[in-house]
Amino acid sequence: MQKILIANRGEIAVRIIKTVRKMGIKSVAVYSDVDRSTPHVGLADEAVLIGAAAPSESYLSIPRIIAAARSTGADAIHPGYGFLSENAEFARAVVDAGMTFIGPTPEAMEIMGSKLMAKKAVSKYGIPMVPGTDTAIQNTSEALTFARSIGFPVLIKASAGGGGKGMRIVEQEEEFESQLERAQSEALKAFGDDSVFVEKYITSPRHIEIQILADQHGNCIHMGERECSIQRRHQKVIEEAPSALLTDEMRNEMGQAAIGVAKSCDYVGAGTVEFIVDQDVKFFFLEMNTRLQVEHPVTEMTTGYDLVEQQIRVARGEVLAIKQTDIKSSGHAIELRVYAEDPMDNFMPGTGALIRYSPPVGDGIRVDDGLREGLEIPIHYDPMIAKLVVHAKTRPMAIQKMASAIREYTIEGVPNTLVFGAFVMQSDAFRSGDFNTHFVRDHFTPKELNPNAETVKVAALVASKLQTEHKMQLRVIHNPVSETKSL
């Protein structure tokens, strides 16, 4: 493996390029026309313009990415996360083009990409699953009868995709039919597949996931858990490792269950098995993410292993050098996803330029970002600015370090989630470890964040107006690259 193309952008592209460089492998970045000046373009050995800002014309275009790889002589492609990372068609196209796809097989993606297929596959391994239908809903009355049998509330879920799309909580029987129609419509719009199923709704869930790593020779290990229960809109904002909830016995039990899930689809590479834990501390299989997770740094900081490096080694056909007994969790790590979102306004995404941008530095502080001061946050992509990760000897020390790092982080020009992170770090519920996925609903309101919320909104509007007036005065950043091509 001599040259790897990274089929992504932003912080994850930067993060992957750094490991590729460390391993002595050449890197190729791809970029859309609005990403010309972003750090990942300048950091790579080569960069290729693949199209317009719209993802369908750039980062989601399989032909353009394959053409970029061929034109630069890349012999492997790393998909990162998001975009095409869990697209089986893309993985097949990479292999058909004579290159190595750094990830699982297309078949494993297809099995785990469908929640119904995944449930069928893992059922052979005796892994606990939430009571629910085994097939997509075909008949509304039969589905309602099943819902009655397991008791309300129930959850209607899309078989494909994730991120909370095509998901509806049904509290009362009379709501079932209308919520079913909404879930199917949303699933069809988001994933091109309106298949949905019903399962029992866990009312006070914890979201805990297990990192696994498997090679092409039948070896598979787990690398501990990540607690991902602090969420908004069913999407994670804060993750930590290890979880304050698990005992060593439960940690091992969930780890073995995750290995069983991986074996059920002959998984290869780094992947994550997600579980729901109920109020009685019983866990149930939720789904498997067949890619590198956004929150992988907390596992790297507690285990000491570079997951991207392990992905590349596995893709090269190497035997996994890490044994289960080698995995020792050290200390505690917490990650805050720093989004350009306004916690004062239901976490609505924002765009604009980073007028001031200065991340914190220090021992045990890691910032994965893909932007610089003066650059724009475009409307076309996920509004993540960075991932702020801290590591310390104990959980209370990690919480304190995160609070300090947030205070030292300067972001001006766009609303962001730093202030929400600060709120969580001082929250009694979070500090005690007694929280669930309803943390935002149960513990957070804009007034608690800032009693002068309306004043802040007015100030933000004024700042936005000033930003527009002075936009042309912002300095333009140029990132030289060794070679830039256009496709």
Percent helix, strand and coil across the chain, each rounded to 5?
40, 25, 35
Measured torsion, CA atoms of residues 158, 162, 166, 172, in degrees rounded to the nearest 10: 80
Classify residue 82 by its DSSP letter. Answer: S
Contact 384, 337 (CB under 8 A): yes
Contact 429, 364 (CB under 8 A): no
Using the Cα atoms of residue 350, residue 351, residue 355 and residue 360 in order, give the sign of their dihedral.
Answer: positive
361 by Cβ neighbours in 10 Å (0-12 / 13-18 / 19+) ranks as: exposed
Q: CA triplet 43, 48, 53: central angle to 5 degrees?
A: 100
Residue with tokens 């996931």: 209
Query: Phi/psi at 434 (nearest 5 deg)?
Result: -100, 80
Mark whether 395 is an active-site residue: no
Q: CA triplet 355, 375, 299: central angle to 5 degrees?
A: 100
Query: Phi/psi at 192 (nearest 5 deg)?
Result: 70, 20
Q: Which of 15, 291, 313, 366 is catalytic?
A: 291
**Neighbouring residues of 74: CB distance < 8 A, sequence distance ≥ 6:** 3, 4, 5, 28, 68, 99
Q: Of 445, 462, 389, which is closest to residue 240 (Cα–Cα)?
A: 389
Q: Of 342, 412, 415, 406, which is closest to residue 373 (Cα–Cα)?
A: 412
- Expressed in angstroms, the distance from the first to the final Cα of the chain is 24
Render 161-198 in DSSP notation, one character per residue. --TTTT-EEE-SGGGHHHHHHHHHHHHHHHHS---EEE
The 3-state DSSP class for residue 223 equals strand
Residues recognised as catalytic: 291
